[in-house]
Amino acid sequence: MDSSAAPARGRYWLLLLAALLIWFGNLEYRKLVRPDEGRYAEIPREMAASGDWVTPRLNGIKYFEKPPLQYWATASAYTLFGEHHWTARLWSALTGVLGILLVWYAGVRLFGPDAGLYAALTLGSSLLYVLIGHVNDLDMGLTFFMGMGLAGFLLAQRDEATARDNRLWMHVAWAAIALAVLSKGLIGIALPVAVLAIYMLMERDFALLRKLHAGTGLPLFLIIAAPWFIAVSLANPEFPGFFFVHEHFDRFFTTVHGRYQPWWYFIPILLAGAVPWLVTLADAAVRAWRVEQPAAAFRPKRLLLIWAVFIFALFSASSSKLPSYILPMFPALALLMGERLSRISSAALGWQVLPVMAAAAAAIGLAPAAEIRAGDEVPVALYRGYVPWLVAAAAVMFAAAGASWYYCRRDRVKPAVIALAAGGLVAAQLVLTGHDALSPASSAYHLAQKIKPHLKPGVPFYSVGFYEQTLPFYLKRTVTVVAHQDELEFGLQQEPQKWIPDQAAFERIWRAKPYALAIMDPPWFGRLRQAGLPMQVVAEDTRRVVVRTL
């Protein structure tokens, strides 16, 4: 046995422990940010409080936009550990770490030990992956289960797989796809099926159809995915039409959700999201298409590239775009980069690190320019509190890139990759943690602390003209929306008694209440004050005004 093996393993375990501490260390620190973090914290809170784990509700109103897997996981965390920032974000953070371990395992089995290590390092330090892994959003859970489906397929179809391996890993893939569907809907199965079809057509490899074990895999998929869809449809007959038509076809083909962006929207997101591995990513992607196996062999790198390109193209063509939509690309890209880094020369890696140093140096100087984004709703003072965090992140990235280049000069690829990965993870966490400086404008946490002394049990609370997503979580109660529907529209059509449709109706109800509270934006406050509505301001910030009856 190599006498140096044990100390090396010890160092890796210490690195893993440090990475986990950095990864999970700031989950509680930051306030929940509107809208997604508030929404996906509140739905599980109401689920745990009501005991109804079949029908998701947001602000007490039926909410069918997404399936319940993450709601179930978060509601379980609340039940076990309490309602906190960290329990609200735990599912994203946990599936993010599991995704890193997944690409390590798949990389080892597909391309070798070094490739697996480098795949894990690149994924766990890519800017977009780290950021989404610490935000209460559905896309990290989806990415993990889609990545598991992809890894299962690759391990089942690799040339070295036995018949038993093929059967085992294909059933893992079928189960993972079912959980992806329960995470975010039909995209969980539509994407893998489309990628497989494209690969078979391009490679003329239709023999793969016989290796999918669909005869047992499809029943497994249905056993996992179907029960909730059946249960929620029986309890809510309106669910199938809304979920399968409106939330899938309308979302993709129309601008009904108001998220229209140009076709090139995801290009800068991918470029920034791949930092600090952007040059390595380009290098790996170009090489992935090259034919290195005999014509009859399964080509995992080509399938990985098709997976990434198809996801990017699909969401670029969609009429609804958010930055996190392309996150499922990243496990595939990490495997490609891991394989490339396992064969790269130290000189080539050194040239790839130099642009990272240059970009980090530029970021140090440009960070104060973040203040130009300030306005009436997000004052310049908040951005000034954020700038030091941005400068620190850029400085860490510059130092890490410098260390990586130093190791490259000494022909030590592995320490160079570890140094750059460590810098990427720490820098991303600094960017994310520092964002809490903007929380007075992006979260209702601070406003909620001012409201609580005025919030007596059973007091009516109205949200006029808008719905503040993070407020119900902090107040531990729902509000009555006034003259506003947006994403609550479908649920309010089913339960119209749960809202007040216009200003006139609200004024009549308000005047009749001996004590009530309401939150609104400054324009609505000015409109109601001009109408002579009796109100006393009890709390306010740059975005919102909270009033009580007189």
Render pLDDT for 138-181 as a digit per residue (tens, 0 to 9).
999 999 999 999 999 999 999 999 999 999 999 999 999 999 99
Residue with tokens 């109205």: 462
Positions in the chain short of pLDDT 50: 1
The predicted pLDDT at position 396 comes to 98
Q: What is the pTM of this model?
A: 0.95
The predicted pLDDT at position 253 comes to 62
460-487 residues labelled b (16+ CB within 10 A) or e (exposed): ebbbbbbbbbbbbbbbebbbbbbbbeeb
Distance CA 307, CA 60 (A): 39
> Residue 313 CA to chain centroid, in angstroms?
19
Distance CA 351, CA 355 (A): 8
Residue 378 structure tokens: 């997000």
Q: Which amino acid is it at 398?
A: F
Render pLDDT for 15-28 as a digit per residue (tens, 0 to 9).
899 999 999 999 99
The predicted pLDDT at position 1 comes to 44
